[in-house]
Structure 1
């Protein structure tokens, strides 16, 4: 499986606009958004704004960086194999 991240501005309705679309083997798997200073201690972390299929989650996690987010996504998708 190959993940590809595409930078994008996300209209979340808040101060959090910098994001990435995450494609897994060409299919959209997730939308990640970087948390702004509005979130104080969480500023700079990445948030699962939306996950699709196996990447969907009842509780949307936060990640310290994009590498951690990608690892989490890969683990979720590995359950399909």
Structure 2
């Protein structure tokens, strides 16, 4: 599995502006947003703004960095193959 992370600006209505569209095999599977300094101890972490299909989550997680986010997304997508 090879995920593609595309930098993008997302109008979240806050100062969180660093974002990534995440594609798997040409399909958009997630939107990640990096949390800004106004988020206190969460600043710099990446938030699952939106997940699609197997990456959708009722309580969207945050990740220490994009590598951790990638690992989590890959696990979510791999669980679809197990069904």
Same fold (TM over 0.5): yes
- Matched with 1:50 is 50
**Structure 1 stretches lacking a partner, 5+ long:** none
Q: CA deviation at 1:80?
A: 1.5
Q: Deviations over 1:10-34 (max 9, x none)?
A: 1001111110000011100000000
C-alpha RMSD over aligned residues: 0.5
Cα distance in 2 for residues equivalent to 1:38 and 1:9 = 18
Give per-residue Cα distances to partners, 1:18-64, cap 9 Å, x unaligned.
10000011100000000000101110000000000000000010000
2:36 is the alignment partner of 1:36: yes
TM-score by length of 1: 0.98
Q: Given the two structures, how large is their TM-score scaled by the length of structure 2?
A: 0.95
Structure 1 segments of 4 or more deviating over 4 A? none
Structure 2 gaps of 5+ residues are none
> Partner of 2:15 in structure 1?
15
1:3 aligns with 2:25: no
